[in-house]
Amino acid sequence: MSRGRIVKALSGFYYVREADNIYQCRGRGIFRNRKISPLVGDIVTFEAENFTEGTITEIGERRNELIRPPIANIDQAILVFSCIEPAFSSFLLDRFLVLVESKNVKPIICLTKIDLLTEQGLHSIAKFQQEYQQLGYPVILLSTISKAGLQELTPFLKDKLSVIAGQSGVGKTSLLNALNEELNLATAKISTHLGRGKHTTRHVELMEIRGGWIADTPGFSQLDFQDFEATDLGEFFPEIRATSARCKFRGCLHLKEPDCAVKEEVSAGIIQPYRYQHYLQFLEEINDRKPRYN
């Protein structure tokens, strides 16, 4: 028996990396009977049948997992957003941040295409960078053309399993190619009609880049807050989490409750009003969602 990590899942096969070898494996039938599916990122025990093939016999305990994309044991999420083409959206970024925070995954914010910004645009992005860094989020400004910011990102990658995520067209694949020019991954141009790019990745695969593993994935397709309740939402906004302990009522949703410390800090400009507005929009979405039935 040998142990390794699943680095790719494709057409019913699981490709397991063990030392310098990769084995094309099938899962045991017992996994299907138990309705368990091996995931990219899993540490597994497998029985090698020859030098290239094997059968997975056991799946190690997972620290965490995502359904879309299907991957396990994630250390961090590299959230890639473009400064321009497509236009930057703090609302969409905050959706991604809430999602990864809820999965206990550390987010790293990367803003691409800074080479396309005007001086005024650079000033606006620098202001945003400062605001989010004050919340504890690393924010790295990047250009895959000039290579700016790549060395700043590199230390975050070492010895970590990262997923790279963001809307299509922001430069995720270009970033991977810039980090490792030997990858030569296919990219797609932005649609001038739709203002967004095409998905160029069709399956989940781990690539060894700059001392760590990065998952090139089809992206997060489910951002609907189904996995937690309204009372949990504030925990995934660092500034609200830190302030809510001073609210008068336990379980305060920071809406109409009296003596709400969060609303006081919003009024004082300590909590950014746009972040609070995003919180309210997400809260409304959670409250309006349809109940799930098991």
User: Which has the minimum average pLDDT: 3-12, 92-101, 143-152, 179-188?
Assistant: 179-188
Rounded to an integer, the average pLDDT of 89-114 is 92
Q: What average pLDDT is seen over the chain?
A: 87
pLDDT at 155: 96
Give the pLDDT band (50/70/90) at residue 192. very low
Give the pLDDT band (50/70/90) at residue 197. very low
43-101 pLDDT tens trace: 999 999 998 999 999 999 998 888 777 899 999 999 999 998 888 999 999 999 999 89
Q: Which residues pair with 263 in a beta bridge?
A: none
Tokens for 229, please give them: 């309740």
pLDDT at 183: 79
236-254 pLDDT tens trace: 999 999 999 999 998 999 9
Tokens for 114, please give them: 């800074």
Tokens for 64, please give them: 């965490």
Give the pLDDT band (50/70/90) at residue 200. very low
Amino acid in position 184: N
pLDDT higher for 189 or 146?
A: 146
- As a dihedral over the C-alpha atoms of residue 156, residue 157, residue 158, residue 161, rounded to 10 degrees, the angle is 120
Q: Of how many residues is the chain composed?
A: 294
The predicted model scores a pTM of: 0.85
Q: Per-residue pLDDT for 174 more than 90?
A: no
% residues pLDDT > 90 (the chain): 62
22-59 pLDDT tens trace: 999 998 877 877 878 899 999 999 999 998 999 999 99
Residues 109, 144, 165, CA angle at the centre, nearest 5°? 35
Q: Where are the alpha helices (DSSP H) in 199-255?
A: 238-243
User: What is the C-alpha to C-alpha distance for residues 228 and 239, in angstroms, rounded to an integer?
Assistant: 19
User: What is the C-alpha to C-alpha distance for residues 57 and 45, in angstroms, rounded to an integer?
Assistant: 6
How far, CA to CA in Å, does 230 sit from each of 238, 244, 281? 16, 14, 11
